[in-house]
Structure 1
Amino acid sequence: DCTNEHHNPSFGGTVVVDYNEVECGNLTTFGSKVAINGEVQGNVVAYNSDIVIAGTVDGNIELYGGNVILQSGSHIRGDIHLYGGHFTQGSDDRLDGSVIDRTRDLDWLINANGRFRFSIWSLLFWIVIGIGLARFFPEHMMLVRTTVVQKTRRSLVIGLLSITLAPPVLLVLVALVLSIPLAIMIGLILVVAWALGTATVGWLIGEYVMRKVAPQHNTRLVQIVVGLTVLVLAGSLPYIGWLIIIGTGLLGLGAVFLSRFGTRLYSQPKQPLPF
């Protein structure tokens, strides 16, 4: 019989499935220390977590950075998927499935070959970008965020126009030779604007997710990490992943330009900004 059931993901701290305890369903953790001495009747999905197993896991283990350690007497009925994580096997454990190291299969976010491919390096890159922008440019992100919310359609149109006109403009500037430094500057501006816009859209996604699943942990940094994680995972989906990445990028890019890189409000907000 089930004794525990985690309906929401766990963020930080320690998650323990003790002896004689049975965890129903899946177990999802972010940056946690996980000790499984009892039984988990589902999958274990962990992001940047350390998992020590002395009990039983009926499903698969998916580790996105971190460590999974099997101790003597542990039993894993499924597979262990490693995405940049490390696996340590015990002397008397039982693994019915296989250990699949997908770290070498890391690919870019755009994926249209019918398979799901997740890049831990892309996730870490975007998390670092998002946290850095939130730490050093919080007001700019807030103004871009407000523009995305208040002027969604206009932001998307401006982003589409910008990315459409940029290549021919850059080609002309490069062809003129003397304008190459200007072309490089415009290219850098586009890259910075895309990064700022994407991180801000990720923040909005994270805010929505955290409000629904874990309002007690609904802080800005957690919102950014969760939102960018969701965005990278969605961008790794086969066939539609590239549409998600391009769509969110264009939306954020347009909002960045409309707000002049987050230096002013494009229009009066409908409610006070939550600084």
Structure 2
Amino acid sequence: MEILQQIDDDVYAAGGNLQINSDINGDLIVTGGTITVNGDIAGDLIAAGGTITIQGNIADDARIAAGTLKISGSIGDDVIAGCSQFILEENATIGGDLAASTNQAYLYGDIAGNVSGNFGNIILGGNVAGELDVDTDKIQTLSDATIQGERITSKETQPGITESDENGYGFMDIVFWLLRYIMLLLTGWIILYLATNSIEDMTFHLTDKPIHKTIAGLLSLLGILMGSIILAVTVVGIPLALILLLIMIFLLYCARIIAGLWLGKKLFGLLGRTTTRWREMAAGIFILLLLGSIPYIGWMVYVVTTLLSTGAIYYLLKEKVRNRPA
């Protein structure tokens, strides 16, 4: 897939090989095997993929999950990244902070803020205007490299764990939270694209008969789970059991997307603003994950929204079957 013309709005895209060769006056949210961003992005970049290359300029933040991430252009604000290999080219710049979890980092460009996170190995060849506060096995500082703030490095903690992680609010928690957000958002984009009318209908009627829908959602999930267990007892039924489990996982994803879209609509409604369903979903899923991260009560948020939304799916399917021509 290739984008060649300028787009004056947010862009959502998915594919095996994505080429963004034009400017986008909004946010860019993408997932794919190989992603190359050659154009300038006026908003944020949210991306998940195998190999991601940024050769254009991102005006705001970049939030990325990738196997290999290479930045040759400029990022206007912060970069949050989870990847196996991170490469910041010599002429590339990050206008804010860099927070990353990576096995290998090549930091040849300039970073205007702080550098933090978990790094296996770092080769530092550029300028860090803020602090360098990282957990790393090895750091190699080249002759041209400078660190203007305080330098704090450690390799004594367990891999992937910092002091704040042990308290439940560390860097790795943020990375995994971000990955969940990106995956839900991209899955939601695909589902909304394929079934816009059905998703909108369930969202608008989500709170109609909430008790009935919550019970229906619980019974539906229990029924699928019990059915898969019964089928798994026999060798012949194992493939069907796996299919049922995949259906249940898909329903759980759909349930959170429906709940997120409902929250987004309510948020923009309270603000008295009208916007696209894509932005409503992005904002709603963000709020849902935040609520789900609250200690002690977050799990209740997930349980209620999941059961309610699953019940909404059940009622929609029931209505479609009932209205199907004989």
SS of aligned partner of 2:236: coil
Ranges in structure 2 where 5+ consecutive residues have no aligned partner: 1-9, 11-23, 27-42, 47-57, 65-73, 83-87, 112-125, 137-158
Ranges in structure 1 where 5+ consecutive residues have no aligned partner: 1-10, 15-28, 36-45, 54-60, 267-275
Aligned to 1:98: 133
Aligned to 1:177: 235
* AA at the equivalent of 2:130: L
CA distance in 2, matches of 1:92, 1:129: 38
CA distance in 1, matches of 2:321, 2:196: 13
CA distance in 1, matches of 2:235, 2:270: 53
SS of aligned partner of 1:191: helix
Correspondence for 1:126 among 146, 163, 184:
184
Higher fraction of strand: 2
TM-score, normalised to structure 1's length? Answer: 0.59
Aligned to 1:138: 196
Overall identity of the aligned pairs, in %: 19
TM-score, normalised to structure 2's length? Answer: 0.51
Confirm or deny that 1:203 pairs with 2:203: no
Contact 2:79 2:94 in 1 (8 A): no
Contact 1:64 1:82 in 2 (8 A): yes
CA distance in 2, matches of 1:199, 1:112: 30
SS of aligned partner of 1:98: strand
SS of aligned partner of 1:95: coil
Contact 2:81 2:101 in 1 (8 A): yes
CA distance in 2, matches of 1:83, 1:206: 30
Kindly tell me: are residues 190 and 262 of structure 1, through their superposed partners in 2, closer, same or farther at Cα, counting changes over 3 Å?
farther
Deviations 1:69-93 (CA, angstroms, capped at 9, x unpaired): 456xxxx8xx754479x97535665
Q: Which moved more, 1:191-200 or 1:228-237?
A: 228-237
Higher fraction of helix: 1
* AA at the equivalent of 1:259: L
Mapping 1:1-275, distance limit 5 Å:
13=25, 30-31=44-45, 33-34=58-59, 46=61, 48=63, 51-52=75-76, 63=80, 69-70=93-94, 81-82=99-100, 88-90=109-111, 94-96=129-131, 98=133, 114-115=168-169, 117-118=173-174, 119=176, 120-213=178-271, 215=273, 218-260=275-317, 263=320
CA distance in 1, matches of 2:272, 2:25: 14
CA distance in 2, matches of 1:227, 1:64: 22
* AA at the equivalent of 1:229: F
